[in-house]
A and B are shown apart, each in its own frame.
Chain A
Amino acid sequence: MKINHRLRRAVTVLTAGLLVGSLAACGGSSPDGNANAQGVGAEEIATALQTETTLTVWGWAPQLEPIVEAFEEKYPKVKVNLENVGTGNDHYTKVQNAIKAGSGAPDVAQIEYAALPQFALSDALVDLKDYGASNLEANYTASTWGSVNINDGIYALPQDSGPMAMFYRADVFEKHGIDVPETWDEYIAAGKKLHAADPKAYIANDIGDAGFTTSMIWQAGGQPYKIDGPTTVDINLQDEGSKAWTKNWNQLVEGKLLAPVASWSDEWYKGLSDGSIATLIIGAWMPANLESGATDGSGKWRVAPMPTYEAGKPVSAENGGGGDAVLKQSKNKAAAYGFLEFSNGPEGSKIHAANGGFPSTTADLENPEFLNAQSKYFGDQKINEILVQAAKDVVPGWSYLPFQTYANSIFNDTVGQSYGSNSDLNPGLIAWQDASVKYGNQQGFTVTAK
């Protein structure tokens, strides 16, 4: 399911190009080459980009292709081999294998925020601080910059982001006289009212999804994963934020108010099309998926800020997204970093956004053309205004586990059991925590449960 989810996100992009509109007009001087470095100087990077080199880049984001083309045009001496070795977990398995083997890894690899600690802490990635990446902080949103900042190192440059918002069916809400919920209490009340009025309709679908759960805990202010040094991890899935979320979400789980439909399944798209799933709390990359997957919902969907625990205090979290990293195995690290500065800097991010990605760069997020783009699918609503505001409201300070991909793979063995029996989510979270602690310790980390 997770792979499918990433795939969908990747597939989106063509349609979203329309939505985002052309950003080519936005000029601005690019500071490439001006990066002032402690370890490797900007001059060295500039020289590397003017030397005959071949770079290998592994990634599946469809935006990488036009970015590579533009890069090769600007730096004709650098040849880039862009290889798609798989999506999500398949990709990570191959990268991990190449790292283990000691050779065969690419110079640059796409890595999602949730998977980044795993590679950063296993000493597989170059700390980009040595190349002057610290100076780029102002270019990115605080939350994405926080995601690439691990243990005082910078291990990737952000590319896309997924600040969460609430997508909802205006027609369904209107039909049943439901106001757009602004707090979680209102959201739950809306869920009850909707399901009572129409037993086939649900406020949302959820049968247990690790990525969704961690993002929801993030929004509730939880920080269940604390990384302290390269191999020391604390897990506390019973902290205040986690409990705030379960207290809230339990009402929907125990009340059977969530459609028991797996995300990204055919049933899911049917529900999104016919309105039997009335809202989606999901990342800002969703619009293009709705347009392509739920065509019958056209004109009926709207976007609103994610409901909050306290009225009038907007809070959001990140859901998905990732960046690109330079691998330690690379023999052309300076040139590889030069590629990152291009692909994840002002020039690349413009191409990325024009091809349907939701950017992580403040310049693109604040571009008036992007903000004012009206979406027909969303009834001519200026959805980017809300999504960009959500990016600013993301709670800082979150980190993922250094073995998040495995932890996510056993989510349904543990928390899923609470979902399956419509019971309290907390025992499920504790079971998930125990299993994660056990795995982490087996893998040589020092993991403690708080």
Chain B
Amino acid sequence: MTTTLNATVATEAPTQKRSRGRWTGWAFVGPFMFVFSLVFLAPVLYAIYLSLFQDQMVGGTKFVGGANYVQAMTDPQFWDSVRRVAVFLVVQVPIMLGVALAVALAIDSNRLRFASFFRISIFLPYAVPAVVATLMWGFIYGPRFGLVGNLNELFGWAIPDPLSNHWILVAIGNIVTWEFIGYNMLIFYAALKTIPNELYEAASIDGAGAFSVIRNIKIPSIRGAIGIASIFSVIGSFQLFNEPNILKSLAPNAISSFFTPNMYAYNLSFAGQQFNYAAAIAMIMGVLTMIVAYIVQLSGSRKDS
């Protein structure tokens, strides 16, 4: 009612009214925009600004335009690191989400004794800081003094060295899966809890079995949660840094300084003083991650419709 009234009045003094209306809106989003521009826009803009320069030990700083981006596009080490996290994503994410989904369904099935105990104990690894978890796994993986070494010695097994060139990515995948199954399980479990009971009642009246309920009710209902968990996992894979960077001290030859894009950018800026080039790489990775996350989201929503 008031809006229509305002609209008729507004024709008389359009500029003043409209501009005041515009500023009222800004006042509401102001606090958000302030924080958003401070912690998100400003760093991104600064990184873009940095990425347009080149700073040499001999010669100083000069504006180079897109040269850093051109260089990154043809940098074999950069693409090697991108390929590595892509392989990691394709293999590790489905395994992790699959196990997390199975666990969530099991806990939700009401057929489990001590369900809350399982829920908390599977979630617990997520509460362990990644640095501590990696150090711990590093000791387990030790082929001489670690658990792997002990098992090999005790039973005469020949478990291959998890910290060798061939197995290191699997070893890191194992750590990440261990860390994040609980987190994803909790997302799925929370979504499962929101499914209305009537659906189950209807299903049982129709005579549906447990697996039929899972297939036809539970999984379709939590598709949104699965989509969100997938996007988080995709972003997490592209940002892989802590685990390999800490294991590098134990396996310096298996984990190169360009093992993941983040490690590459880190080493370029802090060992090589190539802040500008590192900023360009960070920007490219940001765009790449957005594209992949968007594709994942698209494919998820297509199933919805």
Contact = CB atoms under 8 A, between A and B. Distances in A.
Contact of B256 (A1, A231, A412, A445): A412
B270 interface: yes
A231 B142 CA distance: 44
Interface in A390-411: 402-403, 405-406, 409-410
A121 B56 CA distance: 13
Given A443-B58, A444-B56, A419 B271 contact: no
Interface in A373-421: 402-403, 405-406, 409-410, 412-413, 416-417, 419-421
B250 A262 contact: yes
Contacts of B145: 266-267, 270
Nearest to B139: A266
Contacts of A410: 257, 267, 271
Interface string A230-269: 1100000000000000000000000000000110011100
A47 interface: no
Interface string B268-281: 00111110000000
A171 to B, nearest CB: 21
A93 B273 CA distance: 8
A208 interface: yes
B271 A409 contact: yes
Contacts of B258: 413
Given A262-B252, A270-B145, A402 B257 contact: no
A443 B253 contact: no
A439 interface: yes
A135 interface: no
B58 A122 contact: yes
A1 B252 CA distance: 9
Contacts of A442: 56, 274
B273 A406 contact: yes
A231 B56 CA distance: 12
B213 interface: no
Interface in B164-184: 164-165
Contact of A208 (B57, B250, B252): B252
A441 to B, nearest CB: 10
A208 B256 CA distance: 13
B267 A265 contact: no
A372 interface: no
A405 B175 CA distance: 31
A338 to B, nearest CB: 30
B57 A207 contact: no
A409 B257 contact: yes
A442 B272 CA distance: 11
Contact of A267 (B142, B164, B273): B142
B254 interface: yes
B59 interface: yes
Contacts of B17: none
Interface in A262-280: 262, 265-267, 270
A96 interface: yes
Counting contact residues on chain A (CB < 8 A from B), the size range is 35 or more
Given A267-B145, A412-B252, A231 B58 contact: yes
**Among the interface residues A121, A439, A443, which one has the most CB atoms of the partner chain B within 10 A?**
A443
A402 B57 contact: yes
B249 interface: yes
Given A231-B58, A406-B271, A416 B144 contact: no
A278 to B, nearest CB: 16
A406 B252 contact: no
Nearest to A408: B271
A340 B252 CA distance: 38
A210 to B, nearest CB: 10
B252 A416 contact: yes
Given A267-B145, A270-B145, A412-B253, A89 B57 contact: no
A118 interface: yes
**Among the interface residues A207, A267, A403, which one has the most CB atoms of the partner chain B within 10 A?**
A267
Nearest to B273: A96
A207 B272 contact: no
B22 to A, nearest CB: 41
B150 to A, nearest CB: 13
A261 B149 CA distance: 13
A444 B267 contact: no
Contacts of A412: 252-253, 256-257
Interface in B243-269: 249-250, 252-254, 256-258, 267
A261 B144 CA distance: 9
Nearest to A420: B253
Contact of B57 (A265, A267, A413, A445): A445
Interface string A286-328: 0000000000000000000000000000000000000000000
Contacts of B267: 409-410
B270 A89 contact: yes
A261 B250 CA distance: 8
Interface string B105-127: 00000000000000000000000
Contact of B144 (A267, A409, A413): A267
Contacts of B250: 262, 265
A442 B55 CA distance: 9
Contacts of A267: 142, 144-145
B201 to A, nearest CB: 59
Contacts of A420: 164-165, 253-254
A409 B249 contact: no
Contacts of A406: 271-273
B144 A445 contact: no
Nearest to A428: B253
Nearest to A200: B144
A90 B3 CA distance: 61
15 contacts: A121-B58, A122-B57, A122-B58, A208-B252, A262-B250, A265-B249, A405-B271, A409-B257, A410-B267, A410-B271, A416-B252, A416-B253, A443-B57, A444-B56, A444-B58
Interface of B: 55-59, 142, 144-145, 164-165, 249-250, 252-254, 256-258, 267, 270-274
